[in-house]
Amino acid sequence: MPRSDGSKRRKAKAPSLRGFIVACALAAGLAQTAAFAQVPAPPSVQEANPDVFGEEVVLTAKPVLFVAGKSSWGGAFPTLVGQFKSISSLLGKQNLKAAGPAMMIFLSVDNNGFQYQAAVPVSEAPANLPRGAISAGQSPAGKAVKFVHRGDYDSLDMLYEAITHYMDEKQFEKLGPFVEEYVTDPVTTPEDKLVVNVYVLVK
Distance CA 136, CA 62 (A): 11
> In whole angstroms, what separates CA 27 from the centre of its chain?
18
Look at residue 40 in the predicted model and tell me its pLDDT. 41
Q: Are strands 134-138 and 55-59 parallel, antiparallel or unpaired?
A: unpaired
pTM of the predicted protein model = 0.75
- Measured distance CA(79)–CA(31) in Å, rounded: 24
Q: Is residue 47 part of a domain?
A: no
Lowest pLDDT segment from 2-6, 87-91, 175-179, 183-187: 2-6
Beta bridge partners of 63: 138
32 located within any domain: yes
Span of 4-13, 29-38, 89-98, 179-188 with lowest mean pLDDT: 4-13
> Does some domain include residue 44?
no
Q: CB of 198 within 8 A of CB of 155?
A: no
Any domain includes 75? yes
- pLDDT at residue 38 greater than cutoff 50: no
Task: Determine the residue type at 12.
Answer: A
pLDDT in tens, 164-176: 899 998 888 877 6
Predicted pLDDT of residue 35: 40
Rounded Cα gap, residues 178 and 138, in angstroms: 16
- As to burial, measured by CB atoms within 10 angstroms (0-12 exposed, 13-18 middle, 19+ buried), residue 69 is middle
Residues of the domain holding 84 = 10-36+52-202
Q: In the predicted model, is pLDDT for residue 3 greater than 90?
A: no
Does 100 map to a domain?
yes
Residue 43 belongs to some domain of the structure: no
Total of domains in the chain: 1
Q: 49: pLDDT confidence band, cut at 50, 70 and 90?
A: low
The yes-or-no verdict on residue 23 having pLDDT over 80 is no
Domain presence at residue 2: no
Q: For residue 174, give the nearest of 136, 195, 145 by alpha carbon.
A: 145
Cα–Cα–Cα angle for 74, 36, 71, nearest 5°?
20
Residue-wise pLDDT for 137-156, tens only, equals 988 888 999 999 999 998 89
| Position 178 in a domain | yes
C-beta neighbour count of 155 within 10 angstroms: 14
Query: Do the beta carbons of residue 8 and residue 15 sit within 8 Å?
Result: yes
Q: What is the pLDDT of residue 140?
A: 81
Measured CA to CA in angstroms, residue 75 lies from 16, 64, 121 at distances of 12, 24, 24
- Residue 142, sorted as left (phi over 0), alpha (psi -120 to 50) or beta, turns out to be left
Q: What is the mean pLDDT of the chain?
A: 78
Q: Which residue has the higher pLDDT, 161 or 178?
A: 161
**Averaged pLDDT for residues 38-59:** 63
Tell me the residue ranges of DSSP E strands in 74-112. Answer: 102-109
DSSP string for residues in 161-179: HHHHHHHHHHT--EEEEEE
How does residue 103 score in pLDDT terms, banded at 50, 70 and 90? very high
Flag the least confident range among 12-21, 84-93, 106-115, 161-170: 12-21
pLDDT tens, residue by residue, 72-100: 988 888 999 999 999 999 999 888 899 99
CATH (domain of 117): 3.20.80.10
